[in-house]
Chains A and B, each alone.
Chain A
Amino acid sequence: MTFELRELYQEVILDHGRAPRNFGKPDRVSHEAHGNNPLCGDKVTIYLQVDDGVVKDIGFEGQGCAISTASTSMMTEVLKGKTLDEAHTLFHRFHALVTGCDESTDGEDDPNLDCEALERLSVLSGVREFPMRVKCATLCWHTMEAAVKGHGEPVTSE
């Protein structure tokens, strides 16, 4: 097996893909959005309960590949308890991580950056070697952003 393939399908990703955390709709939902990747047919709905600018609860429904499911599962884990500002910062850092545009170190001092959370998400960075699969990893984050911003329109990864 190639090194890239091993990097992509690490055990922790396979585990989240098989047994996603926070799957399902939470009891209380203040924000939600649908995401859709029209090329591959992946679909996700992100639910958030935000109180006083803090993500109190988060869950998701949908179907997708192992990368997409694992990324969504891991996102919900790291976002629980974060402020919306922290979530927004993580979204940008994660995006840079998986697209390979992670050159800038601006924001290292960003008070909103949770370095430990980013470290946990970095297990998905192997996807950068697979340009066709980057959207699988980022769809949930775009959808979460849309939910928070309250866009009524479904998100597509196109």
Chain B
Amino acid sequence: MIAAAALADRPMVNTCPAFDADAARRDFPILATPVVHGRAFLDSAASAQKPIQVIDAVRRCYEAEYANIHRGVYELSALATRNYDAAREKVRAFINAKEASEVVFVRGGTEGVNLVASTYGEKFVGWRDEIIISHLEHHSNIVPWQLLAERKGATIRVIPINDAGELILEEYEKLLGPRTKVVAVTHASNALGTIVPVKEITAMAHEHGAAVLVDGCQAAPHMPIDVQEMDCDFYVFSGHKVYGPSGIGALYGKKALLEDMPPWQGGGDMIDSVTFEKTTYAPPPAKFEAGTPHISGATGLAAALDYVSSHGLDRIAAHEKNLLAEATERLRQFNGIRIFGEARQKAAILSFLIDDIHPHDVGTIADQMGVAVRAGHHCAQPVMQRYDIPGTVRASFGLYNTSGDIDLLVNSVRKAKEIFG
């Protein structure tokens, strides 16, 4: 279904050989450790494990190529700077941005949204203006906008979802108007897996002159991203969900917008010149990167993007689509299973409840049965409120998952039913 989503946005012919997950698993040292070996890690949507290529890149950075960037005239600093700039170029290529200067390194998706809300939002959203988000959003794409709305006296409007977990675009259209200044939507729901038609949403927002931010945290690991094709104004994603280090992520912004936005944090590296009377700022992206950045993180992120690109996101998507279909089909065999999120286009996320067993009890039983799943509201409480449930059990799949992992998941569900029978 992921591949279908990618297809929907741009034509694609998949002639590659099938993805070899068993071979890919050998790239992930943690899967061979006593804590994980023989168990199923089905929580990649929370954070993905790291391949040796990423671990090696971070190690190499500190062992051989580390100094502060943009500082020294000495060779080591120049080398570190080149690596950092090269990482930015890798991100540019990964999301198909026009220029590397449109890529701002941030700590992760959350910081990216906060940055946009605090700069673009601060300048362009005013009293009685409206910010549209969707009912699918993670708290990180809700709360920064609420904080902005409170500061400005603006209003948050919410695109509703249908029972399948898809945005109702007719309702979205009714929300758009002259007061709409920002539309902030997820590319793929972390709680339900729904893939959102962001290109269409962006086009509709632009007709009303609103800027669009897309939260790509759950999309980046699973499907090809093309921000130019999407035409969104901002795109954010986190490194740790795409097999890279935590603490690093990227914010894409259209060049003209980044130039027009006020700076965010003040400090070193983001200035042009400083006097006590007047400071002028560096052009983007440096304007938004005050202080020494996460240098090894950028290196690790670049290695992670290389890693997924070397496998091919199309092939990864096809593999995960098969896993999702198999897991969905096998869980449906149980009486009393309720699956939340049945969008026609879905990322590899399977949210469910069994009978009336609380998700935390299922989570503990699954853990004892060798399966790591997330249980709870997944930082998306409004989604849970929509279905009037306290939370769900969420199995999410990454490139290293196999049918064997689904066997363990199925055993866990059987065990939970047995205990609570």
Contacts and interface: CB of A to CB of B under 8 A. Distances in A.
A2 B376 contact: no
B358 interface: yes
Given A1-B419, A14-B420, A39 B358 contact: no
A40 B393 CA distance: 12
A133 B375 CA distance: 12
Interface residues of B, number: 18
Interface residues of A, number: 22
Given A5-B419, A14-B419, A41 B364 contact: no
A9 to B, nearest CB: 5
A8 interface: yes
Interface string B368-398: 1000000111000100100000110000000
B35 to A, nearest CB: 15
Interface in A2-35: 2, 4-5, 8-9, 14
A40 B419 contact: no
B338 to A, nearest CB: 16
Contacts of B376: 39-41
B358 A64 contact: yes
Contact of B358 (A2, A65, A130, A132): A65
A63 B419 contact: no
Interface string B344-371: 0000000000000111110011001000
B381 A41 contact: yes
Contacts of A2: 368
B357 A66 contact: yes
B359 to A, nearest CB: 8
A40 B384 CA distance: 12
Interface string A40-69: 111000000000000000000001111111
Contacts of A42: 390
22 contacts: A1-B368, A2-B368, A4-B368, A5-B364, A5-B419, A9-B361, A9-B420, A14-B420, A39-B376, A40-B375, A40-B391, A41-B376, A63-B390, A64-B390, A65-B358, A66-B357, A66-B358, A67-B360, A67-B361, A130-B364, A132-B364, A133-B364
